[in-house]
Amino acid sequence: MFKNKVIRWSTLAMLIAILAYFFIENFSSGNAEADKDDLIAANPQQYIDKITQERLAKDDQFKTTKDSPIQDKESFHGLHYFDIDPAYRVKAFITPYEKEDKEMKVTYTDGTTTDYERIGYANFTINGVAEKLLLLKNEAVISVLFKDATSGKETYGGGRYLDYPVSKIKGDSLVLDFNTAYNPYCVYAPSYACPVPPAENTLSVAIRAGEQTEEGNH
């Protein structure tokens, strides 16, 4: 049974490489996150094109690499997504977790557990509703494990993930881009064990952004 660390690290490495190329091509100076927000305001289509390229790169990874969870690569024609919407890229303000029980055992789909650290809560407004998500750290990765009103309908019932390197936290804020929300590998292969989102990370709103299931796409 493979734990979901494989997809977290491979997806993160792939996105970092794509983002690095994008920033070199498009930004010569200044803060990258601020520049990206300016880009969205000035040219939303360029942001949409960037996310589209990231999705195509992931499709290629799933179809061609040996660590892909896709078993029948010949019939694989790409993952399924909601339309890209810049409104689902939001700035969250972090409230540090100050209780002593920072260590948290996160249960995986095979019944095993892994130790994570509670970092704090990401507080943000989306679709006009104030929401918050518990941020968890495992090794050098901030994991945002969540469910929402689409879970089990348009998206995987076990929840979706966002992953960021710790360096993405800037002061007391973190940009959450739900257009990059992805399914864990266990959606595609039962040999993978994936972390289950904490119960408190169930959003009341529908996050119609990021990856869907094939069934939810129809």
pTM of the predicted protein model: 0.84
User: What per-residue confidence (pLDDT) applies to 43?
Assistant: 83
Task: Let me know if residue 211 belongs to a domain.
Answer: no
pLDDT of the residue at 32: 56
Is residue 40 in some structural domain?
A: yes
- For residue 3, the model assigns a pLDDT of 64
Residue 30: per-residue pLDDT: 41
Total domains present in the chain = 1
Q: Between helices 44-64 and 32-42, what is the axis angle to 10°?
A: 110
The whole-number pLDDT of residue 184 equals 96
In order, the DSSP letters of 201-217 are GB-SS----SB--TTTT
**Residue 13 CB neighbours (<10 A):** 10
Q: Does a structural domain hold residue 24?
A: yes
Does 213 reside within a domain? no
φ/ψ (deg, to 5) at 195: -65, 140
Residue 176 in any domain: the answer is yes
Residue 106 lies in a domain: yes
Segment-wise mean pLDDT, segments of 10 residues, the chain, 218 residues: 50 47 38 60 86 97 94 94 96 96 96 97 98 96 98 97 94 95 95 96 98 79
Q: How far lies 103's CA from each of 39, 56, 98, 137, 204, in Å?
A: 38, 37, 12, 10, 26
207 found inside a domain: no
Containing structural domain, residue 181? 2-201
Closest CA to 175 of 22, 24, 23, 35: 35
pLDDT of res. 40: 72
Is 52 a domain residue? yes
What is the pLDDT at residue 21?
39
